[in-house]
Amino acid sequence: MAKLNQIIAVEKGVKSKSFQELTQAHQDLQKPALLAGISRSYQPKDEEGEQLPPESTRVQLKAEDILRSTASTLTRLFDITATKDWANVGASADVVVDGQVLLAQVPVPYLLFLEKQLTDLFTFVKKLPVLDASESWNLDPSTDSWKTEPVRTIRTKKVPRNHVKAEATEKHPAQVEVYYEDIAVGYWTTVKFSGALPARRVNELAERVEKLQQAVKFAREEANSVEVTDRRVGDAVFGYLFR
């Protein structure tokens, strides 16, 4: 008796082969020349007339033959899909993380759903914003966010100053150059806040998602190891459709 994972392993190939053969049959049936045949002979009006050989073209394709081969091809697909789907109804397994059952007796379709969602969640978690590592952060209960220690910086202002390059004389005025000097006029006290996450927290979340992903995959493999009963539905379907 086959197992569900064996059926799943061959299902893709059966689907591909069925699609190719059905496509080929459809294309062949659109070629009237393959379905047509002819037989004709020539008789002159009198005995002295030119004698011509008979001509014939055989029918290369019969629609009923195509129906039979199509039914045969699709019957295999219908049967293997039915075998898988009927088995999936009863195939289930526990999702176990760190020795504890997180989800009990989960059916295969839902395990497949979980795998897809966890893949998306892993991408989401890995792109979470992380606190700037160049700063020292502390959790602030009053704002429920992260903040840095206060940093005091000087606020300066440019004040013009005069530099006398040459004193005034009786004939020439003084030569004065204006320059600007930064003068401290106050102090900024800055505290930075952030709603991002510590890198440690992001790594922990990613690790949990990965661990659950593995657990779901193990559960799916276990569920797919169930023995299956072959289903024969194709004969009934095509026995009705093409009879």
| Pairwise CA distance, residues 229 & 80, whole Å | 10
pLDDT at position 196: 94
CB atoms within 10 A of CB 108: 23
pLDDT at position 180: 87
* Percentage, residues of the chain above pLDDT 70: 100
pLDDT at position 114: 96
Closest CA to 176 of 196, 158, 161: 161
Structure tokens belonging to residue 131: 């606190």
The whole-number average pLDDT for the span 41-59 is 85
pLDDT at position 99: 94
- Rounded to the nearest 10 degrees, the angle between the axes of helix 234-241 and helix 63-90 is 150
Q: What is the mean pLDDT of the chain?
A: 90
- pTM metric for this prediction: 0.67
What digits encode the pLDDT tens for the residues 70-126?
999 899 999 999 998 888 888 899 999 999 999 999 998 899 999 999 999 999 999
The whole-number average pLDDT for the span 28-40 is 87
What digits encode the pLDDT tens for the residues 156-194?
999 888 887 777 777 778 787 888 888 988 999 999 999
Any idea where the domains of the chain sit in the sequence?
1-43+51-91+230-243, 150-190
| Pairwise CA distance, residues 13 & 102, whole Å | 35
pLDDT at position 1: 67
Q: Determine contact, residues 36/58, Cβ cutoff 8 Å.
A: no
- Rounded to the nearest 10 degrees, the angle between the axes of helix 4-29 and helix 63-90 is 160
Indicate the pLDDT class of residue 133, thresholds 50, 70 and 90: very high
Indicate the pLDDT class of residue 17, thresholds 50, 70 and 90: very high
pLDDT at position 47: 81
